[in-house]
Each structure stands twice: as C-alpha cells, then as structure tokens.
Amino acid sequence: MTHVLKIEDLHVSVGDKPILRGVNLTLNHGETHALMGPNGSGKSTLGLAIMGHPGYEVTSGSITLDGKDVLEMAPDERARAGIFMAFQRPMAIPGVKMADFLRHATTNVRRPDRKEGEELIPMREFRKELREKMEHLRMDSEFARRYVNDGFSGGEMKRAEILQLAMLQPKFAVLDETDSGLDADAVRLASESIADIGHQKMGLLIITHHDKLLEHNPPDFTHVMLGGRLVETGGKELAEELHQHGYDRIRKAYPDAEALNQKLLAEDAEEALA
C-alpha cells in the first residue's frame, strides 16, 4: 500500500486571523512536492498545521494519513504516525544532549505504542546507528554531545534537522526552508543529504526559495501558494520558472489572492510594530 497524506479544503486561522483559505494537496509516499510562494503566503502555516501547532486552528477541512484523521492526533501522535517537519527555526533545549534527545525521539517514533517510562533503544545499538548516520552526513561526532540547538549556528541547526530526518525516517516530511541561511557549500551538502535520505523514499513537501535544493530533489509537482491558497500546480518546470522570473506573473494572474497576501503582510508588519 502506498501511504497518502491528503489535505482537503484546509482553512487555518491564527487567533482570529484566517491564514489558509482552502488548501488541497495530495502527497503520495515517494513523491517530492515543492511548495513555493512569496513571503506571507502561508507556506510555514501549512507545515505547522500539518504538525498540529496549538496556535494554528483548523477551522474547516481535513488532513488524513492513509485515511486516518490527522487532526484528531496530538503533535506527538502525528510524529509517531510518520509525519515530520524540519523547522525553519528549530528550538533550543539547553542541557539536553542531541544524542539523548534523538534516542528518545527515535524510540518513540519507531515504537509508536511505547508508554512513558518504557525502555529506550539500547544505548549501544543507538550510538552505532547515530554514528553511521552522522558520518554519512559528514557531521562531526562532537555534535551528538552538544545541547539541542543551543548555541548552534544557522547552518548547524539545519544540519541537525536533517540528522533528525535521517534518524526518524518518517513517511512524510515537510522541509521548511531547510536550505535557508546557509552558504553555497552548505546548501549543496544539505541538498545532497536530503536527496540521499528522503528523495523518493518519503513523501517530501519542500518549502524553498533556492533552486539548488530542487536541483538535487527534482519535484514531481510544484505548488504555488498565494494569499493562503494553492493558486497553481505544475511540474518542476514551474519551479524553474519562478526561480528565474519571480512571482510577478502569479501575482497578476490571481489579483484576489495577491490582495489577501498583501493584506496579511501589512497586518504582520503592523503587529511587528505594535
């Protein structure tokens, strides 16, 4: 059976403010989808809604994984069901070593029925696997002993997210600008790593502004988000077009969505000032 993550007519609000206004997207296992769109269009919101962030309220529509209602699941249940998101800005957890964090996470995700307090994956077995994955990703072994994202550079955080992707082996992964804030070499390394770990092995939803990541992970579908809706869907040539020419054509073609997008951006700016 091919796993399917299906999003239908999804409406999401933050506070009283509607952000997503009817998103439809079907992600089959093994497919790579690019999600593009100007700032403020709602790309990260979609990712956070898929993971179940408590601040993002689904006001209507559905998300299902192989027919099961994802919206009924707590964020940790979604993770255990095989849904993953690489965060644009991952959180630091001071005092908690990457290795300990990952050992617990990996155990929970691999044994979805595990109860609190039950045994974790044996230390020796886990360390071996972690070491192999880190070598593969050309990460220094010292990384495992550092506290989760604490004092990490932007690039280190993104690589840590990729390491988690590699360890957790989800069915579906949303990668939210996993290539941003990196220099050219780091982007290439991240792109290769993701291709190696995830391309065609998971269902990938890649949110990106760069072309490098999609060069290494050619999308089967490209979606363009504007004003909280997917206004166009195409193949990888659509991603190439947007990289070369930007969003002007899209903005003109969908004036209503563009107006909403501008409104949201203006409101965000106001809030930032307030």
Partner 1 sequence: MSQTITHAFDAAGFDALLASQSEPDWLTTLRREAFEHAQAMSWPERRHEEWIRTDIRIFQLGKFGLPVLDPADCDLAETEPLHQLVEGVALGGRIETVDGCITKESLDEDLAAKGVVFGSLSKLALSHPELVRPYLFTAFDPDHDKFAALHAAFMSGGQFLYVPRGVVIDRPLHIGSILTDGGTDTTHTLVVLEDGAEATLLHESNSTDSGGAGLHLGSIELVQKPGSNLRYVNLQEWGHKTYHFAQQKAVIDRDCSLQWTIAAMGSSLSKVNQSVDLVGPGAHSQVNGVMFTEGRQHLAYHTLQHHKAESCRSDFLYKAAQQDKSRTVWRGMIKVDPAAQKTDGYQRNDNLVLSHHARADSIPGLEIEADDVRCTHGSTTSKVDEDQIFYARCRGFTRKEATRMIVTGFFQQIFDRITIDSVREALGAAIARQVREYE
Binding site for partner 1 (CB under 8 A): 51-54, 74-76, 78-80, 84-85, 87, 90-96, 101, 104-105, 108-109, 116, 147, 164, 168
Nearer to partner 1, 19 or 239 (CB): 19
CB 203 within 8 A of CB 31: yes
Nearer to partner 1, 78 or 133 (CB): 78
For the bound state, the minimum distance from the C-beta of residue 12 to partner 1, rounded and expressed in Å, comes to 15
Nearer to partner 1, 78 or 199 (CB): 78
Nearer to partner 1, 105 or 186 (CB): 105
The two three-digit tokens of residue 132, written as one number: 């192999």
Q: Report how far residue 8's alpha carbon sits from residue 75's, in angstroms, rounded to the nearest whole number.
A: 19
Q: Report how far residue 126's alpha carbon sits from residue 133's, in angstroms, rounded to the nearest whole number.
A: 11
Give the number of other CB atoms < 10 A from CB of residue 267: 12
Q: List residues bridging with 57 in a β-sheet.
A: 13
Q: Report how far residue 45's alpha carbon sits from residue 263's, in angstroms, rounded to the nearest whole number.
A: 16
Q: List residues bridging with 222 in a β-sheet.
A: 34, 234
For the bound state, the minimum distance from the C-beta of residue 262 to partner 1, rounded and expressed in Å, comes to 28
For the bound state, the minimum distance from the C-beta of residue 145 to partner 1, rounded and expressed in Å, comes to 12
Nearer to partner 1, 53 or 212 (CB): 53
For the bound state, the minimum distance from the C-beta of residue 176 to partner 1, rounded and expressed in Å, comes to 11
For the bound state, the minimum distance from the C-beta of residue 50 to partner 1, rounded and expressed in Å, comes to 10
For the bound state, the minimum distance from the C-beta of residue 230 to partner 1, rounded and expressed in Å, comes to 23
The two three-digit tokens of residue 125, written as one number: 């077995």
Nearer to partner 1, 98 or 214 (CB): 98
Nearer to partner 1, 147 or 234 (CB): 147
For the bound state, the minimum distance from the C-beta of residue 28 to partner 1, rounded and expressed in Å, comes to 22
